[in-house]
């Protein structure tokens, strides 16, 4: 059973690198677009009996999600043996619970839609919350961005490295890095009255004279990460940098980062940068995904792709 890799238009830049690392050409998909915006993807080669991998992040606009669902349906109706949906960035993941009355749990809704379309397996990276894996009734391979960030941080040779979470919700992620590097952990405890607006922030931990690395899964407006960096510097940190898997970077994020006290921000290419920035360094997850695809195709464990944090 041969592997065929396809990509939606949102993630072609990354899918090409993944296919190249895997050693197979990226499959061809044509798109018909009606004047009202309705789209119709068309897989131009046979996938009958093949193991299909469809790569598409679901960051806004919602057309990217709809395009993914249509591609899955097309592959199913073309008699693909199995359909593996590779979602480098799972959009709507922040809506993973009912935290106030009369709100949607969007992450669960998206999981239902992808399953209903005909996907047999999901591959994602650094979901906003681990429990999202349970929203799917099909296997989920949850890859970890530490695969690319740990080697990079090692290469910097920071003598007094320390890790910090920009909020309480990210403690587990930051603690994993701290444990691997045998380093200390700090937490920036923030309070919000509404989304994207921080009311106050305080530091838990001692950072005097440390090279602090803030760890997060995604950065949106960069308000939290930049405010946390200022707080860490005020408390005596020698340097502050950050690692983040998903560079959503909306609004004034690029301006905020460039004007911040951050030494640098290391991100992955699950989402393409909208513009270049001197403080942002992009590390690719293409090799990670290519190795995962090969192991899934060969029915092997993917545990070797996780750095033991």
| 3-144+287-305: CATH topology | Rossmann fold (3.40.50)
The verdict on whether residue 38 carries a ligand-binding annotation is yes
* Chunked mean pLDDT (size 10), the chain, 309 residues: 95 98 96 93 96 95 94 98 98 92 95 97 95 96 96 96 93 94 92 59 94 97 94 96 97 97 98 95 98 97 85
Q: Which two tokens stand for residue 149?
A: 């960030």
The verdict on whether residue 137 carries a ligand-binding annotation is no
The verdict on whether residue 270 carries a ligand-binding annotation is no
**Residue in the structure block whose two tokens are 């199995």:** 82
Instruction: Look at residue 127 in the predicted model and tell me its pLDDT.
Output: 95
Instruction: Look at residue 207 in the predicted model and tell me its pLDDT.
Output: 96
Question: Cα(43)–Cα(78) distance, rounded to whole angstroms?
Answer: 9
The verdict on whether residue 222 carries a ligand-binding annotation is yes
Q: Are 228 and 213 in contact (CB under 8 A)?
A: no
Instruction: Look at residue 169 in the predicted model and tell me its pLDDT.
Output: 86
The verdict on whether residue 160 carries a ligand-binding annotation is no
In the chain, how long is the greatest CA-to-CA distance?
61
146-283 has the same fold as 3-144+287-305:
yes
Instruction: Look at residue 190 in the predicted model and tell me its pLDDT.
Output: 72
pTM attached to this predicted model: 0.92
Name 287's Cβ contacts closer than 8 Å, sequence gap at least 6.
21
First to last CA, the chain: 35
The verdict on whether residue 186 carries a ligand-binding annotation is no
Burial class of residue 24 (count of CB atoms within 10 Å of its CB; 0-12, 13-18, 19+)? middle
The verdict on whether residue 95 carries a ligand-binding annotation is yes
Annotated catalytic residue, options 190, 210, 227, 291 = 190
Instruction: Look at residue 307 in the predicted model and tell me its pLDDT.
Output: 80
Domain boundaries, given as residue ranges, for the chain? 3-144+287-305, 146-283
Instruction: Determine the CATH number of domain 146-283.
Output: 3.40.50.2020
The verdict on whether residue 192 carries a ligand-binding annotation is yes
Q: Which of 8, 9, 57 is nearest to 271 (CA)?
A: 57
Instruction: Look at residue 201 in the predicted model and tell me its pLDDT.
Output: 87
Q: Which of 147, 284, 149 is nearest to 213 (CA)?
A: 149
Question: Cα(19)–Cα(259) distance, rounded to whole angstroms?
Answer: 37
User: Quick one: three-class SS letters along the chain?
Assistant: CCEEEEECHHHHHHHHHHHHHHCCCECCEEEEECCCCCEEEEECCCCECCEEEEECCCCCCCHHHHHHHHHHHHHHHCCECEEEEEECCCCCCCCCCCCCCCCCCHHHHHHHHHHHHCCCEEEEECCCCHHHHHHCCCCEEEECCHHHHHHHHHHHCCCCEEEEECCHHHHHHHHHHHHHCCCCEEEEEEEEEECCEEEEEEEECCCCCCEEEEEEEEECCCHHHHHHHHHHHHCCCCEEEEEEEEECCCCCHHHHHHCCCCCCEEEECCCCCCCCCCCEEEECCHHHHHHHHHHHHCCCCCHHHCCCC
Instruction: Look at residue 195 in the predicted model and tell me its pLDDT.
Output: 59
Q: In Å, how far from its chain's centre is CA 71?
A: 21
Whether 281 sits among the annotated catalytic residues: the reply is no
Instruction: Look at residue 299 in the predicted model and tell me its pLDDT.
Output: 95
Q: What are phi and psi of 277, to 5 degrees?
A: -145, 135
């Amino acid at each position: 059973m041969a592997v065929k890799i396809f990509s939606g238009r949102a993630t072609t830049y990354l899918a090409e690198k993944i296919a190249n690392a895997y050693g197979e050409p990226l499959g061809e998909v044509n798109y018909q677009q009606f004047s009202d915006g309705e789209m119709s993807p068309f897989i131009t080669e046979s996938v009958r009996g093949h193991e299909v991998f469809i790569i598409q992040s679901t960051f806004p606009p919602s057309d990217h999600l709809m395009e993914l669902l249509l591609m899955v349906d097309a592959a199913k109706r073309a008699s693909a043996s199995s359909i593996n949906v590779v979602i480098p960035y799972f959009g709507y993941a922040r809506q993973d619970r009912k935290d106030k009355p009369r709100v949607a749990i969007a992450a669960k809704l998206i999981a239902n839609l992808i399953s209903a379309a005909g996907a047999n397996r999901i591959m994602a990276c650094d979901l906003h919350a681990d429990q999202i894996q349970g929203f799917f009734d099909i296997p989920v391979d949850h890859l970890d961005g530490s695969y690319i960030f740990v080697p990079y941080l090692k290469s910097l040779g920071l003598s007094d490295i320390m890790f910090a979470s920009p909020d309480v919700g990210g403690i587990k992620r930051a603690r994993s890095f701290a444990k691997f590097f045998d380093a200390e952990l700090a937490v920036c405890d923030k309070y919000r009255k509404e989304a994207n607006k921080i009311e106050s922030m305080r530091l838990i931990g001692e950072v005097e004279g440390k090279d602090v690395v803030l760890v997060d899964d995604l950065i949106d407006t960069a308000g939290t990460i930049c405010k946390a960096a200022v707080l860490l510097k005020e408390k005596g940190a020698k340097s502050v940098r950050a690692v983040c898997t998903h560079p959503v970077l909306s609004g004034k994020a690029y301006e905020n980062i460039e004007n911040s006290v951050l030494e640098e921000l290391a991100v992955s290419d699950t989402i393409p940068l909208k513009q270049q920035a001197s403080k942002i360094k992009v590390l690719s997850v293409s090799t990670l995904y290519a190795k995962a695809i090969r192991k899934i195709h060969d029915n092997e464990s993917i545990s070797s792709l996780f750095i033991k944090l």
